[in-house]
C-alpha cells in the first residue's frame, strides 16, 4: 500500500445557511473565493503537492476543489485530478467512506498526498477517529482551514495516524 498523507480541507466561506432553498447549492461568497484562492496559492507556493483531490458534491465544496485545481495549474504547473464522492457529503458515515478509500489505496504504491474537501463537523471528527480512534471534538477546523494526517504503512490507520498539520487560513494569507 502507498504511504499516505491525508489533507482534510474545509470548504471556504459560503452564502449563509437558509439563503438557498437547497442547502447543497449554497456557493462560496466573493470573500470565500478570495480567501480560498489565497490559501491554495500559499500552500502550493510552499511546496505542497496533491496527487488527488476528492470533494463533497455540494456546490461550496466543489467550488473549493476547483480553486485548488486551478491554483495547482497556475501556481505549481501541474494537473490535479478532482473526484467527486457522495461519501464526503455532510453527515455521512466515516466507515463507509474510509473502507472505500482504503480499497482504492490498495492499488497504489509510493507516496500519495490526497486532499479531501468537505464539511464540519465531519472532517475534524474523521481526523480524530484516524488519530485517536474516537471523536473528541477538540480540533478547531476553520473554513478553508487544513488538517494534515500521516497514515501508518502497516497498522490500521484508525487510532494510529499522526497529526502533523492544523492550520487556520489566517496563517496562510
> Taking CB under 8 A as the rule, does residue 155 contact its own copies?
no
Check: CB of residue 92 under 8 Å from CB of residue 86. Answer: yes
Task: Show the cell assigned to 163.
Answer: 497529526
> Taking CB under 8 A as the rule, does residue 165 contact its own copies?
yes
For the CB of residue 141, give the shortest distance to its own copies in the complex, in Å.
9
The contact mask relative to its own copies for 41-60 (x = CB under 8 A, - = no) is --x--xx-------------
Task: Show the cell assigned to 109.
Answer: 504504491
For the CB of residue 59, give the shortest distance to its own copies in the complex, in Å.
27
Task: Show the cell assigned to 93.
Answer: 458515515
Check: CB of residue 167 under 8 Å from CB of residue 8. Answer: no
CA distances from 31 to 28, 116, 144, 164 (A): 8, 21, 11, 28
Segment interacting with its own copies, rule: CB under 8 A, options 2-10, 24-32, 62-70, 157-165: 157-165
> Taking CB under 8 A as the rule, does residue 161 contact its own copies?
yes
> Taking CB under 8 A as the rule, does residue 163 contact its own copies?
yes
Q: State the sign of the Cα–Cα–Cα–Cα dihedral 34, 38, 41, 43.
A: negative
Task: Among 39, 61, 139, 144, indicate the residue that binds its own copies (CB under 8 A).
Answer: 139
Q: What residue ranges bind its own copies (CB under 8 A)? A: 43, 46-47, 131-132, 136, 138-140, 150, 161-168, 170-173
Amino acid at each position: 500500500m502507498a504511504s499516505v498523507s491525508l489533507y482534510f480541507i474545509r470548504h471556504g466561506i459560503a452564502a449563509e445557511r437558509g439563503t438557498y432553498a437547497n442547502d447543497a447549492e449554497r456557493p462560496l461568497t466573493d470573500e470565500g473565493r478570495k480567501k480560498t484562492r489565497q490559501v491554495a496559492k500559499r500552500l502550493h507556493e510552499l511546496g505542497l503537492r496533491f496527487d488527488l483531490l476528492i470533494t463533497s458534491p455540494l456546490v461550496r465544496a466543489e467550488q473549493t476543489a476547483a480553486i485548488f485545481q486551478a491554483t495547482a495549474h497556475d501556481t505549481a504547473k501541474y494537473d490535479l485530478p478532482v473526484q467527486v464522492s457522495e461519501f464526503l457529503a455532510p453527515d455521512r458515515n466515516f466507515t463507509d467512506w474510509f473502507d472505500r478509500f482504503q480499497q482504492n489505496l490498495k492499488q497504489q504504491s509510493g507516496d500519495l498526498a490526497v486532499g479531501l474537501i468537505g464539511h464540519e463537523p465531519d472532517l475534524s471528527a474523521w481526523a480524530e477517529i484516524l488519530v485517536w480512534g474516537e471523536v473528541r471534538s477538540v480540533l478547531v477546523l476553520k473554513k478553508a482551514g487544513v488538517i494534515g494526517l500521516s497514515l501508518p504503512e502497516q497498522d490500521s490507520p484508525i487510532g494510529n495516524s499522526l497529526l502533523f498539520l492544523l492550520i487556520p487560513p489566517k496563517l496562510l494569507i
